């Protein structure tokens, strides 16, 4: 890792690196409370150990690492971080360029071209607000041939023993042994149902939801903390490894493997010069 930039306002501190355009920490200043999992500086750099990273030009996995676009078979690149998939795309493994830096706002940019047809310029803006932080991503297609794009963010939330999680959704996709979606279900098993709010079980969870209402609420009474994740997408990915301490709530523009679903839900076909926009907010407040 080369550079680390710190954004501060009276309420919050946010640390950002151009490596992977990743967040390294996000904390409440009044009590130095880590709202996102802070990266352990003693470990070697891996974006999966960060507090949050972007997902582009795809989110999560694509079956067989290939799909069809306008009659063309698109073979996705390999990934140095996964032996089978172009996992989360490549925005999280690139070094971005710093464009603007202020006390409460940073702008990073990236230019990437792949033989498969992904040819894009991306911009990420992270900023602090009085209520928390906001992240926005724009991706502009630069290639002559149209291409399917998707995006998302992958935040790692700190999870305490009394933290409860609540959000609504219309259904979910169980995963198979390759972490790809099986048939969509409209009835939730207990471990996947957070509509009424509860403590997440201490078990492996890797669940893709549809019909998400765009907000997830995490409450931790012992820290007098209510966190709200907001995004404009109806697709949310929930992940935890079962070891405790961290839970990921990942807003994505499309479900996992949308490239092989009828109608490619949530994916955006971009012609040259056209742009995809995606945003996320994390708001912190006292429990009332």
Which range, of 33-42, 46-55, 89-98, 207-216, averages the lowest pLDDT? 33-42
Q: Structure tokens of 53?
A: 């990273």
Q: What is the C-alpha radius of gyration for the chain, rounded to an integer number of angstroms?
A: 18
What's the rounded Cα separation, in Å, for the pair 149 and 192?
28
The 10s digit of each residue's pLDDT in 233-258 is 999 999 999 887 999 999 999 999 99
Residue 171 has a CB neighbour count (10 Å cut-off) of 14
| pLDDT for position 43 | 61
The 10s digit of each residue's pLDDT in 20-72 is 999 999 999 999 999 999 987 656 678 899 999 999 999 999 999 999 999 99
Contacts of 227 (CB under 8 A, 6+ apart): 35, 157, 217, 218, 219, 220, 282, 283, 284
| pLDDT for position 276 | 98
CATH code of domain 5-285: 2.70.98.10
Domains in the chain: boundaries: 5-285
Confidence of residue 165 (pLDDT cuts 50, 70, 90): very high
């Amino acid at each position: 890792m080369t550079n680390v930039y710190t954004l501060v306002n009276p309420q919050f501190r946010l640390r950002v690196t151009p490596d992977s355009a990743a967040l390294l920490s996000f904390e409440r200043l009044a009590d130095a409370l880590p709202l996102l999992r802070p990266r352990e500086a003693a470990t070697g750099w891996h974006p999966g150990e960060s507090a949050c990273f972007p997902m582009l030009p795809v989110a999560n996995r694509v079956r067989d690492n290939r799909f069809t676009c306008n009659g063309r078979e698109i073979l996705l690149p390999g990934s140095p971080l996964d032996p089978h998939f172009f996992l989360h795309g490549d925005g999280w493994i690139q070094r971005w360029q710093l464009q603007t830096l202020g006390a409460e706002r940073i702008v990073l940019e990236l230019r990437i071209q792949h033989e498969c047809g992904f040819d894009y310029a991306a911009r990420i803006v992270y900023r602090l607000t009085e209520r928390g932080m906001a992240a926005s991503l724009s991706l502009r297609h630069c290639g002559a041939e149209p291409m399917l794009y998707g995006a998302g963010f992958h935040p790692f939330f700190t999870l305490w023993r009394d933290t409860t999680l609540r959000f609504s959704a219309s259904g979910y996709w169980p995963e198979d042994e390759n972490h790809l979606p099986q048939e969509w279900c409209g009835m939730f098993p207990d471990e996947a149902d957070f509509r009424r709010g509860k403590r997440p079980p201490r078990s492996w969870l890797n669940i893709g939801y549809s019909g998400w209402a765009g907000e997830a609420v995490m409450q931790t009474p012992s820290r007098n903390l209510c966190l709200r994740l907001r995004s404009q997408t109806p697709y949310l990915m929930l992940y935890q490894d079962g070891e405790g301490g961290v839970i990921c709530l990942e807003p994505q523009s499309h479900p996992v493997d949308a490239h092989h679903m009828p109608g490619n839900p949530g994916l955006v076909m971009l012609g040259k010069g056209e742009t995809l926009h995606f945003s996320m907010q994390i708001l912190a407040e006292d429990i009332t």
